[in-house]
A and B are shown apart, each in its own frame.
Chain A
Amino acid sequence: MASGTPGTERNRLATAGARAATVTSLERQPRGDIWMGNIFFAILLFALTIALVGLAAIILQAAINGAPAFGWNLITNGPSTLNPEEAGFRPAIIGTIYLILGVIVLVVPLGIGAAVYLEEYADGTRWWNRTVELNVQNLAGVPSIIYGILGLAFIVRGPLDLGFILVAGSLTLALLVLPTVILASREAIRAVPPSIREGSLALGATEWQTIRRQVLPASIPGIVTGVILAISRAIGETAPLLLVGAATFVTFNPTFTGDNGYSALPVLIFNYATRPQDEFRVLASAGVILMLIVLLLMNSFAVWLRNRYEQQW
């Protein structure tokens, strides 16, 4: 419950609100109030419906528009400017898979490691730990295109100077979703009650033994949920890849370090969508559906996982 000065202020506000809301409380509810309440409820439902219809429209529109191009071609064929009917996404899909593999390898240990440090080891009263914490929160809100700039200036060129290779794209995407993974993992670790840690430490377990064998196993569902959501964000991210060299018409399968270009699914979808011919737009829609199927499966699994293991304490 509220305590201290900000709380009392909030309570005062709320109490005043309650009082204002109930000046006529002793009388029977006027007909007008009932009407107002019903209209209000209708407005809420209407707004929610718009949001849900919007969601449905995005998916349906892509499905209807992309249906003619939907088939194995999408997965097995490469892009083509001359033959849109034959064109597909193969090198881009492989590129995305490689990119995401790189992201997972980087983000899982780094993100969970940082979260464990901030939740379990860091003394929150020290300024440097608070700085790191604030910094992570801020990084989570930095626009993705800025990460593209970072990738271009720091990873592709500049200090790391990797060139326009797939690994550079992976690194950029990893940095982009790292704060999300850290925040979600922290949340999951924080949900483990302190009594579990105390119980373990009181038996003579060390801090790390406690973390490894009690805290992490108990917070795994939450962490996995966070990682999946972060990965699915990385799959759909397009803007930063434009800057770090994901080209569009790569017809061969990419490698991690090959310097003759790589592509990614959302980048190729974007490119197809910007072409004026209808065939390419159909292709783009089919690509969107492909991507959405993967993402919806991943997200549904993540949400299911979270609901399944929520609040077992």
Chain B
Amino acid sequence: MEARDTIGAFGQRGPARPVPSLEAPSPRYGEKLIKLSLALCALLSVVTTTAIVISLLVPTIEFFGEVGITDFLFGTNWAPTFEPASFGVLPIVVGTFSTALWGMMFAIPIGLASAVWLSEYASPRQRKLIKPVLEVLAGIPTVAIGIFALIFLSPQIEKVFPFMVNVPPFSAGIAGLAIGLMIVPIIASISDDAMRAVPGGLREAAYGLGSTKMKVATRVVFPAAISGIVASLVLAGSRAVGETMIVLLVAGASPNLTLDPGSSVLTMTAFIGQTATGDISTGSITYDTIFAVGTLLFIITLILNMFAIRMVRKYREVYE
């Protein structure tokens, strides 16, 4: 081994030059510093999550010091600012699901049909035109969609179907319709990606066996892309549950425990958005109530998101 330490000298052929050291000429602290600061940027997301959890949990724990957890979760009367106050969260949970449900009922068929058309029927040129348009729809602020529903949809629908709007202009169903408009692009875009990720070979094999285009789309491509499609639906559901501005504008503010699309409802997000705007004092029961509802909303959307992320990973694993 000792001998090898010195045999690095160059021989007769080629330019005689010393063998440079293989060690770094400098410790390159700059590189390490950069890597560290980039890691800190990434860590900020964990800090954000931690901060969200702490800001939600601390007041929520205080809240449950005053209100029983079963009274909160299973109570059917929501009147936190009344005297005597009542903290049964079910009406606003049901209100949330009502608007989200009507939204999904509108958006699922429209979104999925658009996705099938985009991935299986559209020519590349049509795709290149339509997909960005749908993405523009995804970029419209929800406050604009809410105003559209409030000023236009609600009065127009009331004229034709009065049962849809019990307390003009507020209606869970119309809020749902507006939410549906908002989530159509999410469903269409992600499902389209999932269906296009299905290898062309599967389609060709099915065509080779003589299937019609419709059968290829519905019985080959659709089942093969199902996890991506489910992910898009769940993600859209999560967005529907978490939407604030549309429900604040059109759903009304009455905590009615009902799934009737014509009824005015209060949702979890609307309650937070409505109550937290006032300059309420820290530590009051109303302040804590906001956070308790926020925690519930956070948990629901977290479960939905985790599920969607898992489904997306599944289809990526398979085809990428």
Please give the residue numbers on chain A whose beta carbons come within 8 Å of chain B beta carbons, in ascending order.
1-2, 6-7, 10-11, 13-15, 17-22, 25-26, 29, 33-34, 36-37, 40-41, 43-48, 50-52, 54-55, 57-58, 61-62, 65, 109-111, 113-114, 116-118, 121-122, 131-132, 134-139, 141-150, 152-154, 157-158, 175, 178-179, 182, 206-208, 229, 232-233, 235-239, 242-243, 266, 269-270, 273-274, 281, 284-285, 288, 291-292, 295-296, 299-300, 303, 307
Q: Are A273 and B146 in contact (CB under 8 A)?
A: yes
Q: Which of B58, B152, B185 counts the most chain A CB atoms within 10 A?
A: B152
Q: Are A18 and B209 in contact (CB under 8 A)?
A: yes
Residues of B in contact (CB 8 Å), total 110
Closest Cβ of chain A to B186, distance in Å, is 11
Q: Are B206 and A22 in contact (CB under 8 A)?
A: yes
Closest Cβ of chain B to A263, distance in Å, is 13
How far is it, in angstroms, between the C-alpha of A175 and the C-alpha of B44 when the chains are bound?
A: 9
Closest Cβ of chain B to A147, distance in Å, is 8
The verdict on B212 contacting chain A, using a C-beta distance below 8 Å, is yes
Residues of B within 8 Å of A113, CB to CB, are 37-38, 40-42
- When the two chains form the complex, which single residue of A45, A154, A157 contacts B51, counting CB atoms closer than 8 Å? A154
Closest 3 CB pairs of A and B: A236-B141, A143-B242, A113-B41
As a 0/1 sequence over residues 15 to 58 of chain B, the CB contacts with chain A under 8 angstroms (1 = contact) are 00000000000001011001101111111111011011011101
Closest Cβ of chain A to B241, distance in Å, is 7
For window 176-217 of chain B, which residues contact chain A by CB distance below 8 Å? 181, 184-185, 188, 198-199, 201-202, 205-206, 209-217
Q: Are A62 and B147 in contact (CB under 8 A)?
A: yes
Closest Cβ of chain B to A111, distance in Å, is 8
Q: Are A138 and B52 in contact (CB under 8 A)?
A: no
Which partner residue on chain B sits nearest A236 by CB separation? B141
- When the two chains form the complex, which single residue of A110, A122, A146 contacts B298, counting CB atoms closer than 8 Å? A146
Binding site of B, secondary structure by majority: helix, strand, loop or mixed? helix
How far is it, in angstroms, between the C-alpha of A125 and the C-alpha of B137 when the chains are bound?
A: 38
The verdict on B282 contacting chain A, using a C-beta distance below 8 Å, is yes
Q: Are A37 and B144 in contact (CB under 8 A)?
A: no
Closest Cβ of chain A to B100, distance in Å, is 12
How far is it, in angstroms, between the C-alpha of A132 and the C-alpha of B34 when the chains are bound?
A: 18
Q: Are B142 and A238 in contact (CB under 8 A)?
A: yes
- When the two chains form the complex, which single residue of A40, A149, A175 contacts B48, counting CB atoms closer than 8 Å? A175
Q: Are A145 and B273 in contact (CB under 8 A)?
A: yes
- When the two chains form the complex, which single residue of B110, B151, B276 contacts A242, counting CB atoms closer than 8 Å? B276
- When the two chains form the complex, which single residue of A116, A158, A242 contacts B273, counting CB atoms closer than 8 Å? A242
| Interchain Cβ contacts within 8 Å, total number | 323
A18-B202, A153-B55 known; A135-B49 Cβ under 8 A: yes
How far is it, in angstroms, between the C-alpha of A3 and the C-alpha of B205 when the chains are bound?
A: 18
For window 106-157 of chain B, which residues contact chain A by CB distance below 8 Å? 109-114, 116-117, 121, 128, 130, 132-137, 139-148, 150-152
- When the two chains form the complex, which single residue of A33, A51, A285 contacts B184, counting CB atoms closer than 8 Å? A51
Closest Cβ of chain B to A162, distance in Å, is 14
Q: Are A269 and B309 in contact (CB under 8 A)?
A: no
How far is it, in angstroms, between the C-alpha of A154 and the C-alpha of B297 when the chains are bound?
A: 18
Q: Are B290 and A110 in contact (CB under 8 A)?
A: no
A47-B110, A141-B238, A182-B45 known; A269-B143 Cβ under 8 A: yes
How far is it, in angstroms, between the C-alpha of A144 and the C-alpha of B301 when the chains are bound?
A: 11
Closest Cβ of chain B to A188, distance in Å, is 16
Residue pairs across A and B with Cβ atoms less than 8 A apart, 24 shown, are A17-B224, A25-B209, A29-B210, A37-B213, A48-B130, A110-B44, A114-B42, A117-B42, A143-B238, A143-B239, A146-B52, A148-B273, A150-B48, A150-B52, A157-B282, A179-B45, A208-B35, A238-B245, A242-B276, A266-B143, A288-B144, A288-B147, A299-B135, A307-B132
How far is it, in angstroms, between the C-alpha of A193 and the C-alpha of B206 when the chains are bound?
A: 33
A21-B206, A229-B139, A270-B249 known; A243-B223 Cβ under 8 A: no
The verdict on B262 contacting chain A, using a C-beta distance below 8 Å, is no
- When the two chains form the complex, which single residue of A21, A41, A266 contacts B211, counting CB atoms closer than 8 Å? A21
The verdict on B5 contacting chain A, using a C-beta distance below 8 Å, is no
Which partner residue on chain A sits nearest B118 by CB separation? A48
Residues of A within 8 Å of B42, CB to CB, are 113-114, 117-118, 122, 132, 136
How far is it, in angstroms, between the C-alpha of A36 and the C-alpha of B245 when the chains are bound?
A: 41
Please give the residue numbers on chain B whose beta carbons come within 8 Å of chain A beta carbons, in ascending order.
28, 30-31, 34-35, 37-46, 48-49, 51-52, 54-56, 58-59, 109-114, 116-117, 121, 128, 130, 132-137, 139-148, 150-152, 181, 184-185, 188, 198-199, 201-202, 205-206, 209-220, 223-224, 235, 238-239, 241-245, 248-249, 269, 272-273, 276-277, 282, 290-291, 294, 297-298, 301-302, 304-306, 308-309, 314, 317-319
Residues of B within 8 Å of A136, CB to CB, are 42, 45
Q: Are B151 and A141 in contact (CB under 8 A)?
A: no
Q: Are A291 and B144 in contact (CB under 8 A)?
A: yes
Closest Cβ of chain A to B142, distance in Å, is 7
- When the two chains form the complex, which single residue of A20, A139, A274, A292 contacts B140, counting CB atoms closer than 8 Å? A292
Residues of A within 8 Å of B294, CB to CB, are 145-146, 149
Q: Are B51 and A145 in contact (CB under 8 A)?
A: no
Q: Are B128 and A307 in contact (CB under 8 A)?
A: yes
Closest Cβ of chain A to B106, distance in Å, is 9
A51-B134, A145-B297, A146-B298 known; A139-B151 Cβ under 8 A: no
A2-B199, A22-B211, A300-B136 known; A61-B145 Cβ under 8 A: no
A14-B224, A153-B55 known; A2-B144 Cβ under 8 A: no
Closest Cβ of chain A to B227, distance in Å, is 9
How far is it, in angstroms, between the C-alpha of A98 and the C-alpha of B296 when the chains are bound?
A: 33
Q: Are B139 and A295 in contact (CB under 8 A)?
A: yes
Q: Are A51 and B110 in contact (CB under 8 A)?
A: yes
Which partner residue on chain B sits nearest A164 by CB separation? B279
